[in-house]
Amino acid sequence: MKRVAVLFVCLGNICRSPLAEAAFRREAERRGLEVEIDSAGTGGWHVGDPPDRRAQAVARRHGVEISAYRGRQVRPEDFHRFTHVVALDRDNLADLKRIRPSDAMAELLLLLDAVEGRRGKSVADPYYGDDADFDLAWADAVAGARGLADLIAGGG
């Protein structure tokens, strides 16, 4: 099996992408998939910061601890290091396409492309919302993690 590495990307790397990273780590572990996993943001505002406290809380409610995660900004070399660069929304995907080096081999996709009936849909940004918005982002991250694990386990 070829080496697989997945990078989840949202805007600031403090809400959606850490949740997607955590959900996918859990799913990969459950399935015994050997995958390198990380997350990043297209913007640099939160480099070095932990995930938003509400993201930490929703993950913790589901038995996952993300307080040690730290925000970072996506870099051009990520498109060579990772086999899959997974955007959490269409704006992030457009930004990634713009900064992707021309010789990069990483597959670009939206997280919800891996969920039947959700192709082209974005994970809503919960940052300006409340706990219910973070619960919805977690549910989308889990659904996307399962679908992505299916694709990877199937050789995609």
Active-site residue set: 10, 16, 125
Q: Which of 91, 108, 84 is nearest to 24 (CA)?
A: 84
Fill in the DSSP letter of residue 73: B
Q: Which of 129, 130, 83 is nearest to 108 (CA)?
A: 83
Q: Which of 23, 70, 64 is nearest to 50 (CA)?
A: 70
Distance from C-alpha of 135 to C-alpha of 113, rounded to nearest angstrom: 20
By residue count, the chain amounts to 156
Helix (H, G, I), strand (E, B) or coil at 63: coil
Kind of pairing between the strands at 36-41 and 5-10? parallel
